Each structure stands twice: as C-alpha cells, then as structure tokens.
Structure 1
Amino acid sequence: MKGPNIAQDNRLTSARYELSLLEKRIMYFIIKEVRYQFVLQTDGQKDLFDDLIVKIKAKSLMENAGGNTTRDVKKALKQLRLRSFEYHNGEDENSPKHKWFEVGFINYGDWEGGNIEVQLSKKILPFMVELTKNFTEYSLTVAISLKSKWSQRMYEICSQWKNSGGVNLPIKELRKMFALENKYTKYFGFKSKVIDVAHKELKDLYMAGQCDLYFEYTELKEGRSVDTLRLKIISKDAQKYIEASVEDALYFIRTECKRIFETDTKPKNKNFIDNVMQNLILEPPLLKHCYEKIQFTLKNKPKADHQKYLRAVFKKEYI
C-alpha cells in the first residue's frame, strides 16, 4: 500500500504517552500537515520554533480518520489538548544537561465551517518535524488504518528500527512507552492483550500487502521471568532486495548447503536441507537473512564448524 509519508522524531516514538485510537489517527494527520507546511513549504532555518498553527480541511480529516463522526473528532481534539506529553532526556536531575518538560499535544482545536485549526506548542513542535536523520518515516495510510492503538505504537517502534533488522526492548521500557506501568502487570496479560494483538494485526496486513512491515519476537528471560523481547523486523525493503535477486540467492543457498551438508551422500542431511529450503521459499524475507548467515559462517567460522553452526541457526530460525 502506498500513501503519503509522515516523519516523526524518534524521541516522540520512544516517549511515554497514551492516546486513544482516534486521537493517534488525528495526530498522524497533523504531523503530515506539519511536514508539508513547515518542512516542505518553508525555506530557512528549521531549528528555531514558535507556536505553529496548522489548518486542516475537516472533510479531509474525516475521510482519513476512519469514518468517525464530527462529535468523535471534536471529543478527540479536546482530549489531545488535555493529554500530557512528558519528555526527559535521561540525564540526572542534578546534571546541567538535565532537560524535562510536560506539555499538551495541542494548545487548542478550533472548528469553524469546513476548517479545523490546531495550534501546536513550540515545546512539542521539534518532535514532529524533520530535524535530523534520526527521524522515523512511515506511511500515513498504514498508520491511520490500524485498528489497535498497540499496533500503532508497535508500528512506530518497528519503523524506527527496521533498518537495523530488529531490536531488544526490555519489558519495563515497553510498559513505560505504552503508559502501562500499572496495567497488565502480569507478563501473560501484557503479552496477550498488547504484544500479540499488535503482532497479529501487523502481520495480517503485511501478508495482505497492506502494510510495509511486521515483527516476530522471542522472549529473553532473567531467571524464570521474561525480561526482554527481541524483535525481528521484516520489512518490504528487505523483500524488494530479495525479489531483485531471488534466483541468485536461492542458487547460492542451495549450492552452499549441498556442499556443506554433503546432501548427495547423506540422506538425513538432504531431508533437513529440503525442509529448510521449503520454508525459505514460503517466507521470502528470510532469504536475505539466510544468505547473510551463510556468508558470515564462511567468512568467520572454522571450516570444520560450518555444518554444526548452520544446523543450529537453521533449526532456530527457519524450522
């Protein structure tokens, strides 16, 4: 699915806040308008800010906010004014580098005729415009189509880290980002009501060609408790790379596996590799990952360990 892109500062992606589904959809639309009005349309210095007025066509907003009523949108605008956005830079309070502030997402919302006027505080504006290369870009069309606010948040996080292929996120940090320190306090509830909901929606949309990425995850434990989630992000960018050279990738993987696992003379190994290849073909985004794993093995592991190492990788990743 193609659509206009919006850019969001990674600090906003990582900050602690909670918005309803409709409020977040409206914020996506406002951010798109901020980019157009402030970044794309304006020349000059972009690191100094004042309060900014954003004007939005009510009809356009209604069409892009999921078919809600005017009453719903007005209520969401009111809530955005009352909602608190809290930021701190992580420095100790006694440090001269310490920075903290709290501000509403918007200063006011004004609906007159067919137009909506929203004012953004200069405090939050730098988080919404493209100042540095660290901004996350993601499709507005995808963002506003998501049906769960947890999917929206996980989509932002995945967009932030998709170029890295994944990220390890402590459960404690995720709870804070989602403003869930005191809700779903048991891991099972957090997993089933938040993480798995987002995982299913993003993956279903990705498989239907309506989303540019999704995530898989594994649980990392500290003792008996799950402490961290390891996200593996599968994106359309990786898929395009594979599609461009799929025959080369398949040929390389088949050829090297045949040699390393001696499949011509070892039937069990042949069955194992056939199973791996079948799964790779069914999951094209994994082809690039497998290609790179074999390349890494050939370059960095002793020849005697190639089969053992790759067998462990294949069992973990592809079977």
Structure 2
Amino acid sequence: MEKEVEIRQHNALTNARYDYSELQLDLLFFIISKLRKDQKTSLYELPIKELSLLTGKQYHLPYLRQATEGLGSRMFEVEDDKEYRQIWMFQQIRYLKGQGIIEIKLTENILPYLFELKDNFTSYTLAAALRLSSKYAKRIYQYCSQWKDLGETKKYDLQDFKKMLGLLDDKGNEKMKQIKELRERVLDIAVKQINEHTELHVSYKLEKRVRTFKNVVFTVKPQALAQTIPFDLVATAQDLPGVQQSHYNNAARILDELRITDPKHRQTILSSAAHVAEVNRYNHDLKTGKVKASSNPGGLLLVKLGLVAAKTAKAPTA
C-alpha cells in the first residue's frame, strides 16, 4: 500500500526566520524526510532522481548548485524566552559526479532541532509540501500544520509574521509594504494552493487595531486530500509537453481506480494536457464532495471529457 511520508520538525524551525526559494525549501523538506530516529548521523544523501519523481520537475545542475550555495550561506534565526540564536544548518554539500546524488553534512548545532522533538514539533506531509509552488505557501502550510489540532493558529503580529517569511529585515527594509500587496501576492495565493493541494483547508483574517492592521490569524480544518504522491512513485516513460510527470502519473492512476480501461479512451485522455488536467481536477472534486457520482464516477468523467454522450455512459467493467 502506498504510504504518504510525514515530516516532523521542531517548532523552533517552523517559526524560525529564514528566506528560502521554492527550490531551497523543496531540498530542505527532502532532507528532513530522510531523518530517522535510529540514525542520528549528520551525513545524508539526496538522490535527485527521487526528488524529481516526487515533484514531476527536472533539476539541472547549475540551478541546484546555485540553490545549495544559498542554503549554505543562509541562517535560521531562532528565538525563545532565554535567547536569540543564529544557526547555520549545513556544514558541507558535495555533488557525487555521475551518481545524481547530493551529499549533505549537517552542523552539530542544528541536530537538536531535528531529533530532540518530544512534544514540541510540527508534522506535515512531504508530498503536500512539495506540491505547493509558492515559497510563501510552503511556509504558511508549515505554520498551519503546527496548529491543525486546535483549529486555529495563534495571532501572529503582522511585523513578526513578515520577518518569519523574509519580507522584513532588522533594518526595516520591507518587500511588501502595502496590505493589498501582501494579500494578493502572499496570503491569497498561499490559501488557494494549500486548499487545493494539501490535507488542510485554511482561511485567514487580518485584524485591525484602530486603523492599522496588526495581526493575522489562520483557521485550519482537515479535508480529504485529492491525490497523494507516494514516496515510491515510479515514473512512466511518457513525456507530455506542458504536463508535470507527477500529474500525468496521477491521471493514469485515477483512470485505473475508475476502471476506465478502454485503450482508445485512455490514449485520448493521456495524450492531451487538457484532459490530464481535467482528470486530476475531477478526482479532487470527487474526493472533496464537490461532485456526486457514487454509482458511476468513471462514466461521468468520460461525459465531462466529451468522450461519450450522457445517455450512453455506462459503468466501466473491471
């Protein structure tokens, strides 16, 4: 049975201040997913082909090297009641030529935040985190995951929230000063992506004090996840322009689940980027209850794709 990989990290890392790109966050998630309680080593290997299977993206060496160079130079800023700490996560990064593997050596100072979790940790799924394309959505997904058992996050002071996302530095340099810009470029996009691609359904509220927005708080509810990306996903040889490999694989698997086995229908669907997108969208709507088709979901999909007429649609045979 395919199993979704869960990531666990210390809440101090969830709430730390750091500014990573989308690719850097994906590498970070991938690293954390490799951690094992019984293997407290500081050296980990990241097979890039495995990451590609999970995300459906191709990773070229120059971009990877640029991303890991940034990982090495950036720090986590962690603060509690006793102290304020600046921590560097990576001691060394090596590329093993001809093997497609990046070897990561972690610093000793970061290890307690990765292994000594006790009850002070955030859990979220690797596939959901990788599906999000906005770097801000990835971070906000982590925040919401930390509070998912309570149904609502704490009230984040807006200035602190911006610092956590890397939108505001200690010198007062701010990337998005206008609240409208923060809504449109960060919050609205993050909420849309989280609701479409993860097991959480979130919304947010900006709270004013007098005439100025001071806080942001998120409501968090569980929802049916449309389609997980299994950790051991095996890619097909299909290369459909404009379609991520993971989306193609999901569509093929959905057709199997709906018992759509007719070779002509499958060929028509899986050779069209629009059809592949519609299959994934239909499956999401089916799993979340937006579409009701308990008796013949496969037939309804064929109708929606225009491959059969509504009156002639029959339940696919096993």
Query: Which TM-score band (shorter chain)?
Result: 0.5 to 0.7
Partner of 2:219: 232
Is the radius of gyration larger for structure 1 or structure 2? 1
- One-letter amino acid of the counterpart of residue 6, structure 2: N
- One-letter amino acid of the counterpart of residue 118, structure 1: I
* CA RMSD between the two structures: 2.3
Tell me how far apart the structure 2 counterparts of residues 140 and 179 of structure 1 sit (CA, whole Å). Answer: 22
CA contact (8 A) 1:217 1:231 kept: yes
Given the two structures, how large is their TM-score scaled by the length of structure 2?
0.63
After superposition, the C-alpha distances for 1:93-126 in whole angstroms (9 at most, x for unaligned) are xxxxx33332333112101131321011111122
Tell me how far apart the structure 1 counterparts of residues 213 and 43 of structure 2 sit (CA, whole Å). Answer: 45
Partner of 1:298: none
Partner of 1:203: 195
Identity over the aligned pairs, expressed in percent? 28
Q: From 63, 85, 105, give the equivalent of 1:101.
A: 85
After superposition, the C-alpha distances for 1:270-306 in whole angstroms (9 at most, x for unaligned) are xxxxxxxxxxxxx98xxxxxxxxxxxxxxxxxxxxxx
- One-letter amino acid of the counterpart of residue 66, structure 2: K
Q: Once the 2 structures are TM-superposed, how far is the Cα of residue 233 of structure 1 from its aligned partner? A: 0.6
Tell me how far apart the structure 1 counterparts of residues 75 and 83 of structure 2 sit (CA, whole Å). Answer: 16
Q: How does 1:58-137 map to 2 (within 5 A)?
A: 58-64=48-54, 66-89=57-80, 91=81, 98-112=82-96, 113-114=98-99, 115-129=101-115, 131-137=117-123
Partner of 2:311: none
Partner of 2:47: 57
C-alpha change, 1:197 and 1:2, in structure 2 (3 Å) is: farther
**What number of residue pairs does the alignment pair up?**
217
Q: Once the 2 structures are TM-superposed, how far is the Cα of residue 3 of structure 1 from its aligned partner? A: 1.7
Partner of 1:180: 167
Tell me how far apart the structure 1 counterparts of residues 164 and 42 of structure 2 sit (CA, whole Å). Answer: 26
C-alpha change, 1:188 and 1:135, in structure 2 (3 Å) is: same
- 1:3 correspondence with 2:9: no
Partner of 1:20: 21
Tell me how far apart the structure 2 counterparts of residues 152 and 161 of structure 1 sit (CA, whole Å). Answer: 15
C-alpha change, 1:100 and 1:11, in structure 2 (3 Å) is: same
Tell me how far apart the structure 2 counterparts of residues 169 and 101 of structure 1 sit (CA, whole Å). Answer: 20
CA contact (8 A) 1:169 1:231 kept: no
The structure with the greater share of residues assigned to helix is: 1
Tell me how far apart the structure 2 counterparts of residues 71 and 214 of structure 1 sit (CA, whole Å). Answer: 36
Q: Once the 2 structures are TM-superposed, how far is the Cα of residue 130 of structure 1 from its aligned partner? A: 5.2
Tell me how far apart the structure 1 counterparts of residues 123 and 17 of structure 2 sit (CA, whole Å). Answer: 19
- 1:189 correspondence with 2:144: no
CA contact (8 A) 1:110 1:117 kept: yes
Given the two structures, how large is their TM-score scaled by the length of structure 1?
0.63
Tell me how far apart the structure 1 counterparts of residues 3 and 136 of structure 2 sit (CA, whole Å). Answer: 22
Tell me how far apart the structure 1 counterparts of residues 118 and 65 of structure 2 sit (CA, whole Å). Answer: 33
Partner of 1:159: 145
CA contact (8 A) 2:54 2:130 kept: yes
Q: Once the 2 structures are TM-superposed, how far is the Cα of residue 59 of structure 1 from its aligned partner? A: 2.2
- One-letter amino acid of the counterpart of residue 84, structure 2: W
Tell me how far apart the structure 2 counterparts of residues 191 and 178 of structure 1 sit (CA, whole Å). Answer: 14
CA contact (8 A) 2:201 2:223 kept: no
Tell me how far apart the structure 1 counterparts of residues 52 and 208 of structure 2 sit (CA, whole Å). Answer: 44
Q: Once the 2 structures are TM-superposed, how far is the Cα of residue 58 of structure 1 from its aligned partner? A: 3.3
Tell me how far apart the structure 2 counterparts of residues 227 and 221 of structure 1 sit (CA, whole Å). Answer: 5
**What is the DSSP-based 3-state SS (H/G/I as helix, E as strand, rest coil) of the residue aligned with 1:162?**
coil
CA contact (8 A) 2:152 2:220 kept: yes
CA contact (8 A) 1:31 1:129 kept: no
Q: Specify every segment of 5 or more residues in structure 1 that has no aligned partner in the other structure, as ranges.
A: 92-97, 206-210, 238-282, 285-319
Q: Once the 2 structures are TM-superposed, how far is the Cα of residue 2 of structure 1 from its aligned partner? A: 5.6
